[in-house]
Amino acid sequence: MPSACMSNMELLAPAGDLEKLKIALLYGADAVYFAGKVAGLRAGAGNFSLSEIEEAVTFCRSQNRRAYLTVNAFSHPGEAAELEAFLRALTGFAPDGFIFSDPGVLSLLKTVFPNAGKEGGPELHLSTQASVTNAAAAKFWYEQGVRRIILARELSLSEIAQIRTEIPNDLELEVFVHGAMCMAYSGRCLLSNFLTGRDANRGDCAHTCRWKYAIVEEQRPGEYIPIETDQYGSYLLSSKDLCMLENVSDLLHSGIASAKIEGRMKSLYYVATIVRAYRHIIDEALSSPGQTVSAESLAYWKEELSKASHRNYTTGFFYGNPGMEGQDDKSGGYQRSYVYLGIVTGYNPEDGLLAFEQRGKFSQGEIVEIFGPQRAFLEMTVEELFDEYQNPIQSVPHAQQKAFLRVPSRVEPYSLIRKKL
């Protein structure tokens, strides 16, 4: 695995499980954030056992990368003992930082880790759930030992730049730059809990904002009055996805220390695709005068982003209130033009056979693309497929089937295979 690409703006990637964590680092992330089985605010993600957390922290440090553990759910009565036991189990392999939002969790972190927020101890990062929107709030948390504020998503770049000038130099600012957006302020939503009993503030959001809504007048039951509609219906609560790939230069100039990608519940293919695009654009901006990026690079990497499933894109609040522009107008659903087929596990240069683990069905005669951390992509027609015993086969239909594919040129391990729909 290549050494870390550390810069003056960290690229921070999500890790829903250990495999995704390693892929995120391989494809260019400077740091990863993930959760254990307690208080992680993503109940639907794979999340990490204690042994996996230890492996993740050890692996990150071996690669000179950073590992942040999320404990950012809001705690309810009777849960402190479980959280404390979980944190105490981490004392032998603490991550580089804890992401929290609840002041009670902060107090517990300081109890279990007396050096938290101090020299040599795990850092304290304040979650976006805490809704920090001004310098006074940031300085308050700084006095509690916090050394990174994950700002509320409702701030513009000019407001972020102003906050940067008014806070201590060693207080870092982090912002989300890509991924799903929530219609509630800083993600603090009660809609899911109200309609389904699944608490979004405890990691179990049912994504009720993505549902189709209409108005019904009391005296006219069954008559649905659309709020705002297109051919797909009305989705007034469903936000577009955030994307700042074309605006990386502005992010760099705003004084942001960490650019965060959303997606602990996303696929391995999604993580690799998004991290890879931002890595290339950030590196090009940092290496060029004025921290600019060429139009050709932006066009290429924007096209690569589109090959991962996504909703329509918006720049969120970075350039002011997005208004209706930020509302998804296509049924709140994902656009999907490519499908993930498999991950490369090895390559034999003598016979040109690529070993892979299948994740999606494909067959002889289909056109596939293979891309990796160090190459753009190889487009080829599948001519020869073999099963795990190297017997010829026509297709690979079974999930996680081990198989072989003959390729025309060298392919690095951990490359991914995809095809256009």
What lies within 8 Å, CB to CB, of 169 at 6+ separation is none
Q: Where are any strands of DSSP class E within 8-154? A: 10-14, 31-35, 66-70, 97-100, 123-126, 148-150
- In tens, the pLDDT along 117-150 reads 999 999 999 999 899 999 999 999 999 999 999 9
Residue 200 three-state SS: helix
What lies within 8 Å, CB to CB, of 158 at 6+ separation is none
Residue 184 has pLDDT above 70, yes or no: no
Residue 98 has a pLDDT of 98
- In tens, the pLDDT along 273-325 reads 999 999 999 999 999 988 899 999 999 999 999 999 998 899 999 999 876 56
Residue 201 has pLDDT above 90, yes or no: no
Residue 162 has a pLDDT of 97
How far is Cα 189 from Cα 265, in angstroms, rounded to an integer? 18
Task: Report the 10 Å Cβ neighbour count for 237.
Answer: 20
Residue 225 has pLDDT above 70, yes or no: no
Mean pLDDT of 201-223: 70
Residue 376 has a pLDDT of 80
Domain residue extents for the chain: 10-183+239-326, 338-420
- In tens, the pLDDT along 354-378 reads 999 999 999 999 999 999 998 888 9
Residue 1 has pLDDT above 60, yes or no: no
Architecture (CATH level 2) of domain 10-183+239-326: Alpha-Beta Barrel (3.20)
Name which residue leads in pLDDT, 193 or 365.
365
Residue 238 has a pLDDT of 72
Q: Matching CATH topology for 10-183+239-326 and 338-420?
A: no
Residue 230 has pLDDT above 60, yes or no: no
What separation in angstroms does the CA of 312 have from each of 5, 241, 309, 346?
29, 6, 10, 36
According to DSSP, residue 197 is labeled S
Residue 77 has a pLDDT of 87
| Segment among 34-43, 80-89, 162-171, 335-344 with least mean pLDDT | 34-43
Mean pLDDT of 79-105: 94
Residue 360 in tokens: 């999606």
Mean pLDDT of 254-267: 94
Residue 66 in tokens: 């950073």
Correct CATH for 338-420 of 3.40.640.10, 3.30.360.10, 2.40.30.10, 3.40.1710.10: 2.40.30.10
Residue 3 has a pLDDT of 34
**CB of 65 closer than 8 Å to CB of 30:** yes
Residue 383 in tokens: 């001519």
How far is Cα 90 from Cα 64, in angstroms, rounded to an integer? 20
Query: Which helix H or strand E contains 88, and what residues bound it?
Result: helix 80-88
Q: How far, in whole angstroms, is CA 214 from its chain's centroid?
A: 31
**CB of 244 closer than 8 Å to CB of 336:** no
Mean pLDDT in the chain?
88
Residue 213 has pLDDT above 80, yes or no: no
Residue 217 in tokens: 């007048």
Residue 326 has pLDDT above 70, yes or no: no
Residue 304 has a pLDDT of 95
Beta 416-420 vs 395-396: how paired, if at all?
unpaired
Residue 321 has a pLDDT of 84
Residue 201 in tokens: 């503030």
How far is Cα 163 from Cα 142, in angstroms, rounded to an integer? 13
**Of all residues in the chain, what percent carry a pLDDT higher than 70?**
84
Residue 221 has a pLDDT of 78
- In tens, the pLDDT along 39-76 reads 755 555 568 999 999 999 999 999 999 999 999 888 88
**CB of 70 closer than 8 Å to CB of 86:** no
